[in-house]
Chains A and B, each alone.
Chain A
Amino acid sequence: MDLLANLAHGFGVALTFNNLLFCLIGCIIGTAIGVLPGIGPVATISLLLPITFGQPATTAIIMLAGIYYGAQYGGSTTAILLNLPGEVSSVVTTLEGYKMARRGRAGAALSIAALASFFAGCVSTVLVAASGPLLTSVALSFGPADYFSLMLLGLIISAVLAQGSVVKSIGMVVFGVSLGLVGTDVQTGQQRFTFGIPELSDGVGFVSIAMGMFGIAEIILNLEKPEARTVMTGKVGSLMMTREEVRRSIPAVLRGTTVGSLLGILPGGGAALASFGSYMMERKVSKGRHEFGTGAIEGVAGPEAANNAASQTSFIPLLTLGIPANAVMALMVGALIIQGIQPGPRMVEAQPDLFWGLIASMWLGNLMLLVINLPMIGLWVKLLAIPYRHMYPAILIFCAIGVYSLSNNVFDVYQTVFFGLFGYLCSKLRLEPAPMLIGFVLGPMMEEHLRRAMLLSRGDVMVFVQRPISATMLAIGAIALIAMVLPNIRKGKDKALQE
């Protein structure tokens, strides 16, 4: 009952005119920056931070939060329509979403993305409200060894589930891992593979890789074929989802919400892990798994639910421990501290208005986003009717602006061009970019956690099997590997995973 009373209080706070207005402003700004490739929530929130200095803390945080999850909604739009992922989490959406758009199901893909996000947002908001502190202890029980094993499991599964040639996809994972090693070594501060270029000392930019490998490469491929110079093959198709599509999406959304809510709590790349994780799961267990690679709706529904759930639950470490899970959360901590509020375990009691108001506003924000986004779908899909010769220069310009704005450095634009050409080469050689990106994201994190685990255990490898979480992950990974080697066990594993 306490929870209900608190939520009622929260809605009382969130439903004041001012807070509603700023929630709406945040959601609209968030959607806009999500749609513009490359311009992410981190840059936007830091730009808008001075505006929040003069506002009450609750209003400020409600607006910033709106920008954050609004960007998650908007990000899927360009991913689906143009194969342009602006963020780590929307890379996965391009895989099936863009294929759906090419089949004339852009409207359905956008609808399910919005609906899945809304559903996941609602569920995970309740989760944040009801069991935030409990989930915090789960996050705290993850040590370096456990992280390492979790990520190793992720890499194994991504290799096991690869489309087409296993050798090629393992090659791409390894290449991605090596790309991830470029930059300053976290443990020693040594420069690795930077070739004396100072811009590389912080590593290769993720946005450059994702935009280049997916978006730019796709543009080159499209221009190569003089006869088919539109994104669409002509037909726009019905905007609504068919009954069949709805039926297939529901279980995917439920699974995605679960995966996302859990992985979102983990600091560092929770949302990215969540959408990759959900995609891999759908590809293996969903009814439409044979359609993966040609535009399966589960491949949009699951990951979209997962990344929105994760972006809501990533507030848990912030609200209960005062520890930011990612760069956006770090900005939120800054905004709160400037307001004189210390995020942390006492915030729930000390600032009930802020805590419950934020939670209620998350739910309202998700509703607003749905209302903003659903009617827009028709408009977005019409964009595809613009002749490609007008379309692609505009896309390229937006990409260049977005990438440049990341750190106001032309070098990032060159990087994007490089990866665009490389991505084109890869598609000619039938090499998939997705495993490379998984390697790029997971590789450096794995290395960091491996070395930290070894440092803390004083070089004792047994730490990986002594910790129950780590041991479980490794066991599942081993089973997955064995299943890959012995195809007849594979059927059995399918059943096991479905349970």
Chain B
Amino acid sequence: MRSVARRSVVLGIGASPLLAVGAHAQGAWPSQSIRLVVPFAPGGTTDLVARLIAAGLQEKLGVSIVVENRAGAGATLGSETVARAAPDGYTLVMSNIASHAISPAVYGSKVRYDPVKDFAHIALVVSNPTVWVANPRAGIRTMADVAARAKSASGLQVATSGAGSSNHLLVVQMSREIGTEITHVPFRGAGPAMQAVIAGQVPMMSDSLPSAASHIKQGSVVAVGMCSAERHPSFPDVPTFREQGFPLESDSWFGLSAPAGTPAPIIARLNRDVLALLQTADIRNRFAELGGTPGTYSAADYNSFIIREVAKWAPLVQAAGATAD
């Protein structure tokens, strides 16, 4: 245990594969390649970041990390295979707001794992605030405009990346806040939804910051409110929902988890390595470009964070009527 701790300090600085080769000569973990399951199709933010993390961890651990995409059923299919895998530290999953908070409520009994009990959660990798953006010609600049438009005779339509997403559930929450139904216009993914907003077919969109960031910077859409606790450092001019009188917070997030029963030293080692990786200038810059905030939680904190998220989203899914059962 002590040698593992010392080694990861060394690796944290120098990232030398040679030392790690020494580790598996002693029969210690890791001695073979690690499978990292991404429960989404290739190409999404989670997939991209998983590959960034895998490349970094690979250097720190000295074994190759194979990213395996296993998409389907609201990210639950891939997560299920990991929940059932051997808890030996060689199978990991990119746990996320869909697979570990929203989908269990959406799919109910069809999800054959418990998002908390069946996993040993390792570390939060990134959390992305939700941002509401509007077409510049829609005449919506503040959240007060949003409420006023929703209450007007013509009503307000808000596009999202899909039904049952955290972006959609925020539309439901906001409707409750202002006491009027906002029309939800779901699309198949964030790209087509953003295109419809830029083209002016739908006035607004509820989107996660990474996919909206470039469009806000280019001015093709206007950021109306950032749905996070504080203003985002890359967008200091965009006020939060709370500042504008709507006490809501909605972050989408993802992290790293292992099957329940994975030895605690492995979890601790991975947590340290991931957090160290997230602090490197390279990764910080890339996350800043994407608009996300790198995680800092300990493994225990990430676990209690997921417990809170499960409790938070279940009633909202019910309210949105998005259950599959």
Contact = CB atoms under 8 A, between A and B. Distances in A.
Interface residues of A, number: 54
A50 B55 contact: yes
Nearest to B282: A53
Contacts of B32: none
B71 interface: yes
A201 B74 contact: yes
A131 interface: no
A199 B39 CA distance: 12
B285 A42 contact: no
Interface string B60-104: 000000001111111011001000000000000000000000000
Contacts of B196: 144
Given A42-B42, A337-B290, A186 B162 contact: yes
B218 A345 contact: yes
B19 interface: no
Contacts of A202: 71-73
B54 interface: yes
Contacts of A325: 191
A229 interface: no
Contacts of A427: none
A321 B194 CA distance: 10
Interface stretch (A67-75, A327-335, A488-496): A327-335
Pick from A141, A184, A325 the residue with the most CB of B within 10 Å. Answer: A184
B247 interface: no
Contacts of A141: 199
B47 interface: yes
Q: Which of B163, B191, B324 has the most CB of A within 10 A?
A: B191
B52 interface: yes
Interface string A236-278: 0000000000000000000000000000000110000000000
A317 interface: yes
Nearest to A336: B214
B64 to A, nearest CB: 11
Given A188-B321, A189-B164, A322-B218, A140 B73 contact: no
B166 to A, nearest CB: 13
A487 interface: no
Interface string B8-43: 000000000000000000000000000000000111
A196 interface: yes
B91 to A, nearest CB: 13
B263 interface: no
B220 interface: yes
Contacts of B43: 42, 45-46, 327-328, 330-331, 334
Which has the most chain B C-beta neighbours within 10 Å: A189, A191, A268, A346?
A: A189
Max chain A C-beta neighbours (<10 A), residue from B48, B54, B202: B48
A189 B196 CA distance: 20
Interface in B308-325: 321-322, 324
Interface stretch (B144-152, B179-187, B237-245, B250-258): B179-187
Given A201-B73, A201-B74, A321-B198, A187 B54 contact: no
B195 interface: yes
Nearest to B162: A186
B44 interface: yes
Nearest to B68: A408
B86 to A, nearest CB: 17
B139 interface: no
B163 A334 contact: no
Interface in B87-142: 106-107, 110
B2 interface: no
B42 A331 contact: yes
A325 B194 CA distance: 12
A187 B321 CA distance: 12
Nearest to B214: A342
A189 B51 contact: no
A108 B198 CA distance: 45
Contacts of B44: 330, 334
Contact of B289 (A187, A198, A340, A409): A340
Contacts of B194: 323
Contacts of B214: 322, 337, 342-344
B48 A49 contact: yes
Contacts of A331: 42-43
A458 B77 CA distance: 36
A46 B69 contact: yes
Nearest to A141: B199
Nearest to A350: B218
Interface stretch (A15-23, A98-106, A308-316, A448-456): A448-456
B217 interface: yes
B280 interface: no
A187 B202 contact: no
A334 B44 CA distance: 8
B302 to A, nearest CB: 24
A407 B217 contact: no
B45 interface: yes
A199 B201 contact: no
B192 interface: yes
Contacts of B55: 50, 53
Contact of B110 (A196, A321, A346): A196
A189 B324 contact: yes
A322 B188 contact: no
16 contacts: A46-B47, A53-B52, A141-B199, A188-B321, A189-B322, A189-B324, A190-B324, A322-B218, A330-B43, A334-B47, A340-B285, A407-B70, A407-B72, A407-B77, A456-B157, A456-B202
9 cross-chain pairs, A with B, having the tightest CB-CB distances, nearest first: A46-B42, A189-B163, A342-B214, A189-B164, A140-B199, A201-B73, A331-B43, A198-B73, A189-B322
Given A186-B188, A202-B73, A409-B70, 18 more contacts: A42-B42, A50-B54, A139-B195, A144-B201, A186-B187, A188-B163, A188-B321, A189-B164, A189-B322, A190-B324, A198-B76, A198-B110, A199-B72, A334-B48, A337-B214, A344-B214, A408-B69, A455-B185
Interface of A: 42-43, 45-46, 49-50, 53, 139-141, 143-144, 184-191, 196, 198-199, 201-202, 267-268, 317, 321-325, 327-328, 330-331, 334, 337-338, 340, 342-346, 407-409, 448, 452, 455-456, 458
